[in-house]
Amino acid sequence: MLKKLIILFFCIIIMLVNLNSQTKKEYIIGVENIKYYPLYNWDGKEWTGYAREVFDRFALKKGYTFKYIALPVARLFNDFVVSQTVDFKFPDNPYWSADLKKDKKVVYSKSVVEYIDGVFVLPERKGKGLDVLKNLGTVMGFTA
């Protein structure tokens, strides 16, 4: 009887190990196909930068595999929220395309890095203040 219990115990261990190895899953992370270095950069072939390093280390630690798909900003929102062809979207913010996400449950992680965006002006307008700023351009799909 003891021999049967030991064999059963080892069979259960082997099944759990196999089950655990089968639960490793590949996830698709949709990323912006722009250069926003050092946070991230799409060079037309590979997605690199600080965010990639963070995701890759997390995947390695947790046993996941991430596949990165770089898309234009507007299409990335659609592929994440509407067609759901990507599992995760990076970057994102609750304020970005809020109307598109209003009936969806989107979960956000805690921040890993903080940064401040800025505005570029022509050298002759430097230091003139906000009252001379008439037009502000952004990358398509970005929120000022």
CB 73 within 8 A of CB 142: yes
Residue-level pLDDT at 7:
44
Q: For the CA atoms of 37, 27, 88, 76, what is the dihedral angle to 10 degrees? A: 70
Give the bridge partners for 67, in sequence order.
28
| 79-138 residue pLDDT tens | 999 999 999 999 998 888 888 888 889 999 888 888 787 888 889 988 998 888 888 887
User: What's this model's pTM, rounded to 2 decimal places?
Assistant: 0.69
Domains in the chain (CATH in brackets) are 24-118 (3.40.190.10)
